[in-house]
Structure 1
Amino acid sequence: MKLHQIFAKPVDRAIEGVIKADDAASLPLELEEYVLTQEVQQRLDGFLAAYNDYRGANGVWISGFFGSGKSHLLKMLAVLLENREVGGQRAFTYFEGKCEGDRLLAANLKKAVALPSRSILFNIDQKATVSSKQAEFDALLSVFFQVFHEMQGYYGKLGYIAQFERDLDSRGQYDAFRVAYGEIAGKPWEKGREQAVMEKRNIAQAYGQITGVSGVGDGILEQYRQDYRVSIEDFADEVWAYLQRQERGFRLNFFVDEVGQYIAGNIKLMTNLQTIAESLATKCQGQAWILVTAQEDMDTVLGAEGKQQSNDFSKIQDRFKNRMKLTSQNVAEVIQTRLLLKTTASEAALKALYASHQNNFKTLFDFADGSKTFRTFKDGDHFIKTYPFIPYQFELFKTAIEQLSQHSAFEGKHSSVGERSMLGVFQAVVVCLREGEVGQLATFDLMFEGIRTTLKSMIQAAILSAERNLGDDFAVRVLKALFLVKYVREFKATVRNVCVLMREGLEQNPTDLEAQVQGALNRLEQESYVQRNGELYEYLTDEEKDIEKEIKNVEVDRNNILTELNQLIVKGTLIPKKIRHGNDQDYDFTTVIDDQRYGNVHELTLHVITPLYPDGDNEAVLQAQTMGKAELRVVLPPDARLMRDLELWLQTETYIRQQTGKPHTSSIQQIINQKQLQNDERKRGLTVRLAESLAEATLILNGAVLCHQGQGRLMAAFEDLITQTYPHLLMLRNETYTKERVQQVLSPGQPGIFGDLTEPEQEVLNFIQRTKNAGGRSTVKSLQEQFRSKPYGWQDLAVLFFVAVLVVRGKVQPPAYGHILVGERVGTGLLGRGQQGNVILRPQAV
């Protein structure tokens, strides 16, 4: 019996591997063939409970790895919830039969579709225009406005035109305007609005005609364009206004496909998505929902671009409390049902095949030598559902493509096997085997053909070369299998395990297969297509590129990046460790980078804002945050390359440290040594570029942007910070106070000091007097602490000088240290740091 004869449906029939949000023609087939797996049923139970009984969470997050069926599920929900008529019957009718055996799910589905609703389904990356992507703050919101306007029949691509149409509609003039325009322009309004710039005169005439006032329409669209502004609050208000015009209990549901790829790495877009969902929840009270799809792990989307973004990405995911996560188990069930469903006649032959070989399955399909253990066939039914595939292939292939994606093996920023889906790849394998006999198995190397066209030519260069030059088809197939598992850490590519991957049939002789595999591996090693390390074989790519990928995959926390930035800026030579004021006073300051404090806390703060800061490009927000604070904000200019190089420097340092002491081949060690030299040079370059960034930084103090220019602008800004924080510094009149001046005042034989007290002398005397009146006592140390802080900022020697003057003038009693100090001991008591906490000062009795 041929393999193609055992399947219930033709294996080469058109199966759309990738579900497209805007493809309506395929809807009947998609509904008919949709597999309501056990996993999806479980996820639907939770979602429908929330949808039918709203309790505050209106966001649904559908996640899964590449090709797991996220988009298909999203599209089916969009059609099902509004119970659209497809192919002559309602969508619920298609699903009703799929719910047999689960009455509760069927009841919940029926309840959900009974709620009047409208679904807006779209792929956000397709809808977003280049201009909207450039305007980061409004990008996501613009797309939501666009699809909302289009659903109502307005021109969504240009929001101001849609606003014009909506205003006409609200006044009951929209239909009349369309008719008038058609008569004047000789074309329908739906065509004319696409050429609004060219149609200004016709639009003005039509508007004047329906309003009955000549000339009133001149420049009407231009005025709308100039006045058009959007906000998330406006969007929520418009949705709510639309809902109020519908029947009671009406729902408006937004189904957003691949939102994860669109917002990846952009904190503003992530925050906007969260705010849109929350605003709709607040305003519409469960009548507006957002359902989105995203990859299970954003590292597989971001590839080599770094992992900090995926950590940021997880924060927005937490805002969507209704979760529907799809796993490889779901994919396997879909493939088994849509592609591998067997005829009744073939089941008997497959049961016999299972019975005759089931005792050998562990030997034939278990991986050894420390590889991960995969579950084999559970029973005869499982064998029938899965054949000609082996259970391990579903999970191993899933892991293989995820790891290849993390190593940027696929074309395009977000490309992967997901462009064809797991279903498409497995179908390609079955089509390849369709003329084989029952008993033949799918080998793992055949999976390569399903992803070949999406792989970068560089990553598959060795395979392309082997196909041209090796002249050994089986060896090339082994090379393809090794390529697929190259980055799968759980798989050990020993001869035994490669034999499992390459087993072509249940009857194949294990000894012959091992000899064939060993021969192929030997040939590949000789030709330098693979390398052998002990018993393990590995597909070879450029070693330097491999090491670069490993470096970029090193986990670097954002806080580690900021810590290294602090080391370069403050602990380096770019900024002095203390601030020197004009009166030769040194001031300590607290260092803060992106809200992260380093070192001790002081009254003055230097806050460096990096391009990583969420509101780093919003000057108004940064100004507002500094109001009333003793803080100088240094806002570094946007420089993605600088931050990326800083992250790369830290990743490389971490990688080299991790590799120290490990055994490496001479070529690998040479590459690692070269990486260290390059990284040292990178650090020197970072110091230079940071200095340039600091010179160009925006300086903000107490809500105002400082305008200092030149090399000394940062020190001038520090002077402003000190002057503003310590306004009483002016009392000192920029005089210099030294230990010698204090001793000179107290020296015997000095002429008396007469006249009125100076302003600072009076301040010190007042403090001593207030302390005594409050029942306390003043020490030299407490005086220094008082006048060192706001609003004074005086240096300690200045305070000691004024105390000495007050003693000489008879305004303060000679200091006491257990007993009254006299003579030279007065100076010792004031100036001796070890005694200042115990040297008491009292005002002279009048």
Structure 2
Amino acid sequence: MKLKTIFNKQVNRPIEGVIKADANDEVSLSIELEEYVLTNEVEKRLEDFLEAYNNYTGVNGVWISGFFGSGKSHLLKMLALLLENRYVKTVPVIESFLPKCQDNKILQGNLKKAITIPAQSILFNIDQKADVTSKTEFDALLSVFFKVFNEACGYYGKQGYIAQFEKDLDSREVYGDFKIAYEKGSGKPWQRGREQVLLEKKNIAVAYAEITGETVEDSKGILDQYRQDYNLSIEGFAKEVKAFINKQSPNFRLNFFVDEVGQYIAENVKLMTNLQTIAESLATKCQGRAWVIVTAQEDMEKVLGEMGNHQTKDFSKIQDRFANRMKLTSRDVAEVIQKRLLMKNEEGIKLLAEIYERQKHNFSTLFKFTDGSHQYRNFQDKDHFVHCYPFIPYQFTLFQSAIRGLSQHNAFEGKHSSVGERSMLGVFQEVAISIEEQQIGRLATFDLMFQGIRSTLKSNIQSAIILAEDNLTNQFAVRLLKALFLVKYVEGFKANLPNLSILMLEEFEQDISELRNQVQEALSLLEQQTYIQRTGELYEYLTDEEKDIEQEIKNTEVEVSKVLEGLNTLIFDEIIKTSKIRNREGRQDYPYSRKIDGTLYRREHELSIQVITPFSGQHDQEKALQMENMGRDELLIILPSDVIAHRNKESVLTT
């Protein structure tokens, strides 16, 4: 029997690997709702969130984190639908979701309580809604929130001043009359006209004059005046949200579901503080009736950590505001793939159970990595085997580590150096499709994962593989090269002969000795052709090593304290060299204190040498430093800044 016959659903069916933050397509929503997998871990986190949502205690922020493909966007979308009590194809979303909770009565109860709270969900991907150049502006994040809020209210989102114009007309209860007057005069609906306001000034003035009683001449500059007076403020945004909420039913909530906010604000201190202030202002003004639920590829501590240790103290407020954390792990990814893609039919379960009984004693030998390599999860029992097959448990974790390493080394095209349009589910599906015509007993080899991500890889990073495909006749060697590429940046994986053989194992009954000979022959060929390099017993895929080293340096944040320690060694041990000052007349040596930017290194003595570096807050206050130094038995050295300082820093780093 062929592999494709054992699956509960066809593996080649359309599966949306990347869930988009759009809640308008009824057909897509129905499929996404049907295929959503509520994992055991997410179930627990969902309980905690709903408890906080149903019983507001001051925290209105939720931070959903997880590596790409872990299902965070899918979860975000399901929450948006559930809390709004949305209907999809005339069926309440809650009715389709409750069976996924199985016997968890607490979660079911929390969900039922949550949907009794009237709410509206504003779901959006922040990168898609943001203007191309707006991210560099100080109010970039706020402008996106204003944009989606205006659109949800029925106003023009792309230009805030036009939305303000519409709001003012609405508040005077003449907005509907204006739209009628505009369409009568221009022959087109206002929804089209507001996109071309520069060409429609006359028609706008005529319509405005008609509904207000002003002259057409006085009305011509109305939108210019709005553009001139328009400004953004977080407080103003919170007030508008509050005003909108107050017009709704009692206890109504307006919830913002923001996808991929972590990548948008990463490494931008201003955007991070703006997010915190927006959530805080909504909490203050709306008293729990406006929530901000966001997703990020990393947990908050990681995002803050990448900004620098000296800055993390400034973000205690955002951690408090987003105290509700929902972290999706690699185990969640594996469970989603198993339940959405790899579920087996009754015949498949029966056949695989027989294979399990024959092979279960060999698993520890077949899939155990050697020589200090990181050990990955193996098949736990029969059910685990049935759920994973034709994949091996280590592949879920190892592939995720491979993608993370490649992403950190800037291997991918597109924004945020991430896979973007690919997901773990999409890659595993592509592998399953590629071997579905094989006989039962065939295993998915690790090299097959490469095809699922190659379209998103930069051409230079995979140049060796492209060259090998064009020039090598040994196809097994090309496949092995792809496996070596995937594990290149995986910490803890030893790419030696035994471990690489595990990655290339195709069948349970395969001759291991013959396989190792095949791998060794391929490795020798690849090394001879300079596709890989060998260090002892380890093999490594070759890229531009100088670029790799440069990227490593860029990825390494050097703390000022470490730089000063390096300067201490450089100045006192390598330049001055001596630890004492000689009095030539008295022929006597005096020890001295070492100081850099006011910090004492080693012991204190009567005499001292102090070096002021460009890192000091007083570096540009030379006269003040001279005045402070008068009367001290101290030699003061002020290092130059700018180009020379940068060279000094580089030399310290090199040292």
Task: For residue 137 of structure 1, give the secondary structure of its aligned residue in structure 2.
Answer: coil
**Partner of residue 37 from structure 2, selected from 35, 38, 60:** 35
Which residue does 1:213 correspond to in 2?
Answer: 214
Which residue does 2:147 correspond to in 1?
Answer: 146
Which residue does 1:539 correspond to in 2?
Answer: 541
Which residue does 1:482 correspond to in 2?
Answer: 484
Give the residue type in structure 2 aligned to 1:150.
E
Aligned-residue offset at 1:218: 2.7
Aligned-residue offset at 1:542: 2.2
Distance 1:80 1:603 in 2: 66
Q: 1:205 to 1:309 in 2, by over 3 A?
A: farther
Q: 1:544 to 1:322 in 2, by over 3 A?
A: same
**Partner of residue 451 from structure 1, selected from 450, 453, 461:** 453
Aligned-residue offset at 1:69: 1.1
Task: For residue 516 of structure 1, give the secondary structure of its aligned residue in structure 2.
Answer: helix
Q: What's the TM-score once normalised by structure 2's chain length?
A: 0.86
Which residue does 2:607 correspond to in 1?
Answer: none
Which residue does 1:8 correspond to in 2?
Answer: 8
Aligned 1:429-444 pairs, distance under 5 A: 429-444=431-446
Aligned-residue offset at 1:185: 1.2
Aligned 1:342-353 pairs, distance under 5 A: 342-353=344-355
Greater mean alpha carbon deviation, residues 520-529 or residues 48-57: 520-529
In the TM superposition, what whole-angstrom CA distance separates every residue of 1:743-765 from its partner, at most 9, and x where no partner exists?
xxxxxxxxxxxxxxxxxxxxxxx
Task: For residue 130 of structure 1, give the secondary structure of its aligned residue in structure 2.
Answer: coil
Aligned-residue offset at 1:458: 0.8
In the TM superposition, what whole-angstrom CA distance separates every residue of 1:595-621 from its partner, at most 9, and x where no partner exists?
x7579x999589xxxxxxxxxxxxxxx
Which residue does 1:193 correspond to in 2?
Answer: 194
Task: For residue 15 of structure 2, give the secondary structure of its aligned residue in structure 1.
Answer: coil
Which residue does 2:497 correspond to in 1?
Answer: 495
Which residue does 2:630 correspond to in 1?
Answer: none
Distance 2:60 2:379 in 1: 41
Q: 1:46 to 1:133 in 2, by over 3 A?
A: same
Aligned 1:19-98 pairs, distance under 5 A: 19-22=19-22, 24-25=24-25, 26-98=28-100
Task: For residue 66 of structure 1, give the secondary structure of its aligned residue in structure 2.
Answer: coil
Q: 1:476 to 1:187 in 2, by over 3 A?
A: same
Which residue does 1:257 correspond to in 2?
Answer: 259
Aligned-residue offset at 1:650: 4.9
CA contact (8 A) 1:168 1:174 kept: yes
Aligned-residue offset at 1:248: 0.4
CA contact (8 A) 1:551 1:651 kept: no
In the TM superposition, what whole-angstrom CA distance separates every residue of 1:72-105 from its partner, at most 9, and x where no partner exists?
1111111111011112211111101111210100
Distance 1:71 1:593 in 2: 45
CA contact (8 A) 1:299 1:310 kept: no
Which residue does 1:168 correspond to in 2?
Answer: 169
Aligned-residue offset at 1:553: 3.1
Query: Does the alignment pair 1:376 with 2:388?
Result: no
**Partner of residue 227 from structure 2, selected from 221, 225, 228:** 225
Distance 2:625 2:651 in 1: 32
CA contact (8 A) 1:17 1:424 kept: yes
Q: 1:18 to 1:239 in 2, by over 3 A?
A: same
CA contact (8 A) 2:23 2:123 kept: no
Q: 1:229 to 1:553 in 2, by over 3 A?
A: closer
Greater mean alpha carbon deviation, residues 290-299 or residues 419-428: 290-299
Which residue does 1:624 correspond to in 2?
Answer: none
Give the residue type in structure 1 aligned to 2:341.
L
Which residue does 1:156 correspond to in 2?
Answer: 157
Distance 2:220 2:504 in 1: 75
Distance 2:153 2:409 in 1: 44
Aligned-residue offset at 1:528: 1.3
CA contact (8 A) 1:492 1:536 kept: yes
Distance 1:652 1:139 in 2: 38
Q: 1:225 to 1:550 in 2, by over 3 A?
A: closer
Aligned-residue offset at 1:318: 5.8
Q: 1:310 to 1:498 in 2, by over 3 A?
A: farther
In the TM superposition, what whole-angstrom CA distance separates every residue of 1:174-213 from its partner, at most 9, and x where no partner exists?
1111111111111111111111111111111111111223
Q: 1:558 to 1:343 in 2, by over 3 A?
A: farther
**Partner of residue 426 from structure 1, selected from 425, 428, 431:** 428
Q: 1:301 to 1:414 in 2, by over 3 A?
A: farther
Aligned-residue offset at 1:261: 1.4
CA contact (8 A) 1:182 1:188 kept: yes
RMSD between superposed Cα atoms in Å = 3.2
Distance 2:210 2:568 in 1: 67
Percent pairwise identity: 61
Larger radius of gyration: 1
Which residue does 2:183 correspond to in 1?
Answer: 182
CA contact (8 A) 2:308 2:557 kept: no
Distance 2:499 2:384 in 1: 23
Aligned 1:169-568 pairs, distance under 5 A: 169-215=170-216, 216-296=218-298, 307-308=306-307, 315=315, 316=318, 319-557=321-559, 560=562
Task: For residue 158 of structure 2, give the secondary structure of its aligned residue in structure 1.
Answer: coil
Give the residue type in structure 1 aligned to 2:528.
Q
CA contact (8 A) 1:67 1:418 kept: no
CA contact (8 A) 2:4 2:10 kept: yes
Aligned-residue offset at 1:111: 0.7
Unaligned regions of 5+ residues in structure 2, if any? 576-596, 599-609, 627-640
Distance 2:565 2:172 in 1: 59
Task: For residue 292 of structure 1, give the secondary structure of its aligned residue in structure 2.
Answer: strand
Task: For residue 377 of structure 2, give the secondary structure of its aligned residue in structure 1.
Answer: coil
Q: 1:237 to 1:477 in 2, by over 3 A?
A: same
Q: What's the TM-score once normalised by structure 1's chain length?
A: 0.67
Distance 1:91 1:63 in 2: 24
CA contact (8 A) 2:487 2:493 kept: yes
CA contact (8 A) 1:301 1:405 kept: no
Give the residue type in structure 1 aligned to 2:2.
K
In the TM superposition, what whole-angstrom CA distance separates every residue of 1:217-236 from its partner, at most 9, and x where no partner exists?
23111111111111000000
Which residue does 2:629 correspond to in 1?
Answer: none
Which residue does 1:628 correspond to in 2?
Answer: none
Which residue does 1:756 correspond to in 2?
Answer: none
In the TM superposition, what whole-angstrom CA distance separates every residue of 1:482-516 from its partner, at most 9, and x where no partner exists?
11111112100111101110000111111111111
In the TM superposition, what whole-angstrom CA distance separates every residue of 1:420-446 from its partner, at most 9, and x where no partner exists?
100000000000010001100000000
Distance 1:198 1:459 in 2: 48
Distance 2:146 2:569 in 1: 45
Q: 1:555 to 1:139 in 2, by over 3 A?
A: closer
Give the residue type in structure 2 aligned to 1:214.
T
Q: 1:564 to 1:454 in 2, by over 3 A?
A: same
